[in-house]
Amino acid sequence: MIIGVIDYGMGNLFSVEQALKRLNCEVVVSSDVQQLAATDALILPGVGAFPDAMKRLAETGLDQFIREQVDAKKPLLGICLGMQLLFDESEEVAPTKGFGFFKGSISKFSGVSESGEKYRVPHMGWNTLEFQTIPSWLENKELPESKYVYFVHSFYGANIDREQLVASADYFGVEVPGVVQSGSVCGMQFHPEKSGEFGVFLLQQWLNGVEVLAC
């Protein structure tokens, strides 16, 4: 099975690549659409600001390529900023349109809870995922008791379509979408490759689902 990691100059590519290799995947890290098109599934990583990322994707033509691949039902996983890019829009820096595969907008944590308690922004560290639905790639799988994953982000998906929500984490009363799914498109706000056993479990199960589709 070949997994394509989309290189548009704004992702922690090495950690994702190494995690995939440890899970016995052949990995192609590239910005070349022909190389990426020949893979079984795509991963869109991302670190940085939403507008910069969308600009880079547009300048390289990777935005259109991603849309074409999703239209063709190729599995796509967005990680961290890569997940946020898959929503309708973001308020980060300046209002910017995203891919629109997921309904909702990317908004900044206010830093103050509804009760008036101040909290730290970014949301950084370990938090527990609570599952709302089970996607096809987790069906008939026994989830580990410990569901901690590692987050690092100041913006989150708000006003989402709840039918697309798989799992969320609570951060001072804010429901933070942690895993979202719509058709062949999945998003993980946390870093599965840095989230210990449970993160590796989720990444492995997603890859297993890709393998079923590829066969």
By annotation, the residues acting in catalysis are 80, 191, 193
Q: Strand, coil or helix: what is 214?
A: helix
- CA dist., res. 150 & res. 59, Å (int): 31
Residues 20 and 29: their CA atoms lie apart, in Å, by 11
50: left (phi over 0), alpha (psi -120 to 50) or beta: alpha
Interacting residues of 132 by C-beta distance below 8 A, sequence separation 6+: 162, 165, 166, 167, 168
